[in-house]
Amino acid sequence: MFKIAILVSGTGSNMLNIIESFQGKSAEILTVFADRPCKALEKAQDIYNIPTKLLNKKDLSNLEIANKVHEECVKLKVDLIVLAGFLSIIGGKILEDFENKIINIHPSLLPKYGGPGMYGMNVHNQVIKNQENTSGCTVHFVTKDVDQGKIILQKQVKVEKNDTGETLQKRILIQEHIAIIEAINILIKQHEDERV
């Protein structure tokens, strides 16, 4: 079975979507890591009984967090690491050992509105400020350059005249839920094809 680790920082809507879509079907969610105390961690543990680990960014650097995730994922023989609303920057040896096996969902049509500091409402507010006609989300591989890894897929959302950052975020989140599942399915299929 295809083995997944999920990294979270917030409420965990994408994480829940992944668990409900794959757990016990075509994949197994082995563990959930968080870089701060958050609802997602509680939900993974309390609702789904998935092992969780808090790697608090108050106590650890980004590299220390990445190294601990790396160590655990090697031990568990994880096939895919999914950043589902994870706000710490991943770096170090994990990027080599899990090359093309770490994916992120970003709330814009990369390369637009990517890079350090561009996450969550920062992205949506900038899109509104710049009067863009379209926005959306991108699932991409994670590399040492933030938000610059190879794009797996994108979903577009029309920016309406009366949109605020909040209303745009809600519509994009719906597409994020669709995109992350499609991307994981693509990677599961690739994994199966490679094993044949």
Of the residues 70, 106, 124, 177, only one is catalytic, namely: 106
DSSP 8-class letter at 160: P
> Is 106 a known active-site residue?
yes
Q: At what angle do helices 39-46 and 13-22 cross, to 10 degrees?
A: 30
Q: What angle do CA 180, 62, 55 make, to 5 degrees?
A: 75
List CB contacts of 111: < 8 A, sequence separation 6 or more: 147, 148
Q: Strand ranges (DSSP E) for the chain?
A: 2-8, 27-34, 52-54, 80-83, 102-106, 134-141, 151-158
Catalytic positions: 106
